[in-house]
A and B are shown apart, each in its own frame.
Chain A
Amino acid sequence: MSDVTITITDREGVVHEVQAPTDMAMNIMELCRAYELAPDGTIGVCGGMAMCASCQCYILNDVEIPEMGPDEDAMLSEAFNVKPNSRLGCQIPITPELEGLALELAPE
C-alpha cells in the first residue's frame, strides 16, 4: 500500500512534510513519534488510549478525518489549549483518505 503525505507543524512552528505508511496500523501520534517531531515523554504519554491529550493537534485543512469518538471527546473536554479544530492524534488512524492532511501540534 502506498504512503500518504501529511504536513505537520511542530511545537516550535517548524513545518514538516512527512510520508506516512497506511499499512502499519499507525496513527497520527505515532507518526509524530516515528519522525521525532516532539520529544519522547511529551507526546503519546498514555500510549494512545485517549487518556492524556499530550498528542492534541489542530486540524488545519478540510481533509476528511474520522469522527470523534466518545473517549476522545471526553478527554478534550478536560484538556487545555483546546480549539474547535482540536483532535487527539492517537485517535486518527493513518488511511489513504488522509492524503494532504495538514495539522499543527498543540502546545505541551
Chain B
Amino acid sequence: MITTDILIIGAGPTGLFAVFEAGLLKLKCHIIDALPQIGGQLSELYPKKPIFDIPGYPSVLAGDLVHNLMEQIKQFQPGFTLNEKAETIKKLEDGTFIVTTNKGTEHHAKAVAIAGGLGSFEPRKPIIESIEFYEDKGVEYFVKDPELFRDKKIVIAGGGDSALDWSVFLADVASEVTLVHRRNEFRGALDSVEKVQELKKQGKIRLVTPAEVTGIRGDEHVEELDIEIDGAHSTIKTDYFIPLFGLTPKLGAIAHWGLEIEKNAIKVNNALDYQTNIEGIYAIGDINTYPGKLKLILCGFHEATLMCQSVFNKLNPGKKYVLKYTTVSGVDGFDGTRKEAEKQVVKAID
C-alpha cells in the first residue's frame, strides 16, 4: 500500500505544481496518471507547441513547461503510479481515503486532489461491428508488451506517429506487419515515414492504402479482417489487429465516485478551497467547474495552491501558520536539499 498526505489524480501541469505547494507545507504527494508519462495533455497532445500565457514566460513549449515543473518539484520527491487509472475510492472512518487503480495498486491518503484535466485518455475506437467482442482476443489498442506479437501476424491501422512508430518497431518482432491507412499520405514525423518507406522496400512492412478495416472475423480470437481497398473488398489473415487512432479523454470511473458533476466537470466550492461535495476530495484544474471557471493552466496553479492550504489546515487544526514567501524563507526539500536567496554581504566602507 502506498501512503501519502495528498493523492493527486492526474500528472498534468496543475497536478505537478500542487506537489510544490504541498511541499512548502511539508505535505507529501503521490500522483496517479493513466498515461505512461507525466505532463497530461501537454505531453500527450502538444509537447512541441508553444504556450504564450504562462506568467513570466513570453513563450514556452508545452513539453518544456512539464520538464520545468518536474525540475521545480523534484526536491519534494513525489511518488508516481503511471499507466494506471484511479478506479475506486473508499473513505475510511478516520476521514482518510483508499484509492485503488485498475491494476489493483492501493493508495492510502489523507486527502485526494483530482487534477484529471479532461479525464483519463482512452483509445479512440474505430467504428467496426463487434470490435468490442474481440478486445483482448486479438484487438489491442495499445502496444503494452511487444513480445505479445512475437512471430505473429499483425495489422496496424492509423496514419499518425504511433501507427508509424509501432509498425517500424514491430517489423523486427512480428512475423508479418501490415499497415492500413485511409490515405496514401501519413502525418507522422518525416523520419518515421521514411523508415516505413524503407521497411516497405525491404518487404518487412506491407502498406495497404487507401484502405480501411471494416470487419473482424474469428471464432474466439481475431483470425481475419475485412478491408476496403480503394472501394474494393478484400480480406487479410491476421493474429492481431492494432487500431491506433489516438486517444480521447473520458471522465471514466471518477464519474461514479458520488461527486457532483456538471457538464462533464466536477463541481467545487471556489469561494474557499476547490473542495468537492465530499469532504477531503478536491478537484483542481480543467476537471472542475464553478461560476466563472476558466480552463487555463495559470488558473489551475492558483487552485492547486489554495487546495494545499486547505488540506494543511484540515490536517493541522489549530496550528498557527502564516504564508511564507520562498524568496524569504527558501525551499527545503524532502531530499535534504535547500534552495535559498543569496545572503547580502554587509560590509563597511572604509
Contacts and interface: CB of A to CB of B under 8 A. Distances in A.
B118 A45 contact: yes
Contacts of B46: 46, 49, 51
B125 to A, nearest CB: 9
Per DSSP, chain A at the interface is loop
B181 A40 contact: no
A78 interface: yes
A42 B45 contact: no
A77 B49 contact: no
Contacts of A81: 127
Given A40-B264, A78-B160, A49 B45 contact: yes
B263 interface: yes
Contacts of B118: 41, 45
Contacts of A75: 187
Interface stretch (B133-141, B222-230, B243-251, B334-342): B243-251
B263 A52 contact: no
A87 B345 CA distance: 64
A40 B245 contact: no
Interface residues of B, number: 25
A71 B249 CA distance: 21
| Chain A interface category by residue count | 10 to 19
A39 interface: yes
Given A45-B249, A49-B46, A74-B185, A39 B159 contact: no
B115 to A, nearest CB: 15
Contacts of A39: 263-264
Nearest to B188: A74
Interface string A69-80: 011001101101
A1 B181 CA distance: 44
Contacts of B45: 46, 49, 51-52
A41 B181 CA distance: 27
A100 B160 CA distance: 35
Contacts of A45: 118, 248-249
Given A45-B118, A78-B246, 11 more contacts: A40-B265, A46-B45, A51-B46, A52-B246, A74-B185, A75-B187, A77-B183, A77-B187, A78-B159, A78-B160, A80-B126
23 contacts: A39-B264, A40-B263, A41-B263, A41-B264, A45-B248, A46-B45, A49-B45, A51-B46, A52-B45, A52-B246, A52-B248, A74-B159, A74-B160, A74-B183, A74-B187, A75-B187, A77-B185, A77-B187, A78-B158, A78-B159, A78-B160, A78-B187, A80-B127
